[in-house]
């Protein structure tokens, strides 16, 4: 790197002459190196699926957390630095509980996502801090219906019908572009998400290192059992 650029590279609060914040871009690179996550909105809910990418047979897959419950009606999947994600999720859980205590109602999904992103954005403005090196796929169901949001290290957010984050994002998004359709059933949504994740991982999806979370208007957010997950994955990729 040329010495003239190093001043912009080292400080989060300084724009480069072409309007870039290098530290935010580096945080995005941390997300791109993370495990692949996918989310699909179906008719009555949202499914989140994560490839845990177990790198050693000595690791217990159950010890790797990539999908988290925020509230009864909201869950999220993370790609990037899991420790950063845990800090954001703890804050999101607190915001959800404060809202329920204050207003006696569940927090709307978009409201919670905006609060998380506002918090992330402050870490791009001040010296002595760094951006969060994680992207969250946040899924929930409220009075407006199923919602699926993607958040960026910069604090930006976007709502999707189907989305992906992590190292296999391009492959998964290409699959979604070709195969997603509206008004999917839950079973169809799970199958589509698994197939997209399979494409994103270039066919290296391990059923035992896959985690599925589902939130539906008729039941609370829950993480699917390992046996049921294996059944879903085997059925979906068997037809790929």
Specify the number of domains making up the chain. Answer: 1
Q: Catalytic pick from 35, 124, 151, 201?
A: 35
Domain assignment present for 111: yes
Domain assignment present for 6: no
Q: How far apart are CA 14 and CA 11, in angstroms?
A: 6
- Indicate whether 4 pLDDT > 70: no
Residues 121/57, Cβ–Cβ less than 8 Å: no
Domain assignment present for 230: yes
Q: How far apart are CA 231 and CA 211, in angstroms?
A: 12
Residues 6 or more apart from 136 whose CB is under 8 A from it? 76, 77, 78, 85, 88, 89, 116, 150, 151
pTM higher than 0.75 for the full model? Answer: yes
pLDDT of residue 240: 54
Domain assignment present for 183: yes
Domain assignment present for 9: no
Report residue 208 as tokens. 């035992």
Residues 85/119, Cβ–Cβ less than 8 Å: no
Q: What is the dihedral of CA 54, 230, 74, 101, to 10 degrees?
A: -90
pLDDT tens digits along 156-201: 999 999 999 999 999 999 999 999 999 999 999 999 999 999 999 9
Strand partners, 69: 75
Q: How confident is the model at residue 1 (pLDDT cuts 50, 70, 90)?
A: very low
Domain assignment present for 45: yes
In the chain, % of residues over pLDDT 90 = 78
In the chain, % of residues over pLDDT 70 = 96
Domain assignment present for 95: yes
Look at residues 194, 220, 157 and name the one whose alpha carbon lies nearest to residue 39. Answer: 194
Greater confidence, 58 or 111? 111
Range(s) of the domain holding residue 70: 35-238
CATH number, residue 62: 3.60.20.10
Residues 6 or more apart from 165 whose CB is under 8 A from it? 31, 34, 36, 37, 77, 79, 80, 135, 137, 150
Domain assignment present for 162: yes
- Active-site residue 35, yes or no? yes
- Judged on CB neighbours under 10 Å (0-12, 13-18, 19+), 185 is exposed
Q: How far apart are CA 87 and CA 78, in angstroms?
A: 12
Residues 149/180, Cβ–Cβ less than 8 Å: no
Look at residues 65, 68, 41, 35 and name the one whose alpha carbon lies nearest to residue 167. Answer: 35
């Amino acid at each position: 790197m040329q010495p003239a650029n190093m001043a912009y590279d080292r400080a989060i609060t300084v724009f480069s002459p072409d309007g870039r914040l290098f530290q935010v871009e580096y945080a995005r690179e941390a997300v791109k190196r993370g495990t692949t996550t996918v989310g699909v909105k179906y008719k009555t809910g949202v499914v989140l699926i994560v490839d845990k990418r177990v790198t050693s047979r000595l690791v217990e897959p159950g010890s790797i957390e990539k999908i988290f419950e925020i509230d009864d009606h909201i869950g999220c999947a993370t790609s990037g630095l899991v420790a950063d994600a845990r800090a954001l999720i703890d804050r999101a859980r607190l915001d959800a509980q404060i809202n329920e205590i204050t207003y006696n109602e569940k927090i709307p999904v978009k409201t919670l996502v905006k609060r998380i992103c506002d918090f992330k954005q402050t870490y791009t403005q001040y010296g002595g801090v760094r951006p969060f090196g994680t992207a969250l796929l946040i899924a929930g169901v409220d009075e407006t219906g199923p919602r699926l949001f993607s958040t960026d290290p910069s604090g930006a957010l976007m709502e999707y019908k189907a989305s992906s984050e992590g190292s296999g994002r391009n492959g998964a998004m290409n699959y979604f572009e070709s195969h997603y359709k509206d008004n999917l059933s839950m079973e169809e949504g799970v199958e589509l998400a698994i197939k997209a994740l399979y494409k994103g991982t270039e066919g290296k999806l391990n059923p035992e290192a896959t985690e599925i979370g589902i939130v539906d208007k008729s039941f609370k957010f829950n993480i699917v059992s390992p046996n049921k997950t294996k059944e879903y994955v085997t059925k979906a990729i068997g037809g790929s």
